[in-house]
Chain A
Amino acid sequence: MKTSNVGVAIDAVSKRYKSAKQPALDGVTLDIRPGELLALLGPSGSGKTTLLNVLSGLESADDGRMLFGDQDVTDIPAERRSVAVVFQSSMLYPHMSLRKSIAFAPRLNKVPDAEIEQRIADITGWLHIAHLLDRRPHEVSGGERQRAAIAKALVSRPALLLMDEPFSAVDAQLRRQLRSELVKLHREFGTTTVFVTHDQEEAMAISDRVAVMRNGRLVQVDEPLELYRSPVNAWLADFVGVQPINVLPVRRSPSGDTLQTADGELTLKPEGRAFPDVLDLGVRPEHIKIIASGSASPLRVYTREVVSGQMKYTLRTDQGTEIVAIRGSDDVLDIDTPVDVAVDWRHAIAFDSTTGERLDVNLAKGTAGVS
Chain B
Amino acid sequence: MSTRRRVVLHLLALLALVWTIAPLAWILLISLTYHHEFASSTIHLLPHQPTLANYVRLFGRSAADWNGTIQPPNAYGPLIRSGLVNSAEVAVAVTVLSMVFAVPAAYALARVDMRFRQAGLLTIVATRALPPVATTIPFFVLYQTLGLSGTRLGLVIAHLTMTVPLLVWMGTSFFGGLPPGLERMARVDGCSRWRAFTRVVVPASRHAMTAMAVIAFLTSWDEFTFALIFNTGTSAQTFPPALSSMFFQVSVPTEVASATVLGLLPPLVIATLFQRYIRKVNLVGL
Contact = CB atoms under 8 A, between A and B. Distances in A.
A77 B187 CA distance: 8
Given A79-B187, A85-B188, A108-B189, A93 B181 contact: no
Interface in A73-89: 77-80, 83-85, 87-89
B190 A87 contact: no
B191 A79 contact: yes
Interface stretch (B96-104, B198-206, B271-279): B198-206
Contacts of A89: 179-181
Given A89-B180, A89-B181, A95 B187 contact: no
Nearest to A78: B187
Interface in B158-214: 178-182, 184-185, 187-192, 195, 200, 203-204, 206
Contacts of A56: 188
A156 B188 CA distance: 11
A88 B179 CA distance: 12
A32 B245 CA distance: 79
A83 B190 CA distance: 9
Interface string A104-119: 1100110000000000
A328 interface: no
Interface residues of B, number: 18
B188 A91 contact: no
Contacts of B190: 79-80, 105, 108-109, 156
A91 B189 CA distance: 11
Contacts of A80: 190
Interface residues of A, number: 23
B203 A104 contact: no
A255 B120 CA distance: 75
A127 B180 CA distance: 26
A87 B181 contact: yes
Contacts of A58: 184, 187-188
A90 interface: yes
Contact of A105 (B180, B189, B204): B189
Given A93-B200, A95-B203, A85 B185 contact: yes
A104 to B, nearest CB: 5
B112 to A, nearest CB: 13
A245 to B, nearest CB: 36
A9 B64 CA distance: 89
B191 A108 contact: yes
Contact of B184 (A85, A93, A95, A108): A85
Interface in A257-303: none
Contacts of B179: 89-90, 94
Nearest to A87: B181
A77 B200 CA distance: 18
A58 B189 CA distance: 11
Interface in B27-84: none
Contacts of B204: 93-95
A276 B35 CA distance: 113
A84 B188 CA distance: 6
Given A94-B204, A95-B204, A95-B206, A83 B188 contact: yes
A79 B188 contact: yes
B72 to A, nearest CB: 55
Nearest to A91: B185
Contacts of A77: 187, 192
A90 B184 CA distance: 10
Contacts of B192: 77, 79
A202 B43 CA distance: 82
Contacts of A104: 189
Interface string A49-88: 0000000111000000000000000000111100111011
B180 A90 contact: yes
Contacts of A109: 190
A79 B189 CA distance: 6
Nearest to A158: B188
Contacts of B182: 90, 93-94
Contacts of A79: 187-192, 195
Most B CB contacts (10 A, CB to CB) among A89, A90, A109 go to A90
B192 to A, nearest CB: 6
8 contacts: A78-B188, A79-B188, A84-B188, A85-B184, A87-B185, A90-B179, A90-B180, A90-B182
Given A90-B182, A91-B181, 15 more contacts: A58-B188, A77-B192, A78-B187, A78-B188, A80-B190, A85-B184, A85-B185, A87-B184, A87-B185, A94-B179, A94-B182, A95-B206, A104-B189, A108-B191, A156-B190
Interface of B: 178-182, 184-185, 187-192, 195, 200, 203-204, 206
The 7 closest A-B pairs by CB, nearest first: A90-B179, A105-B189, A108-B190, A78-B187, A95-B204, A85-B188, A79-B190
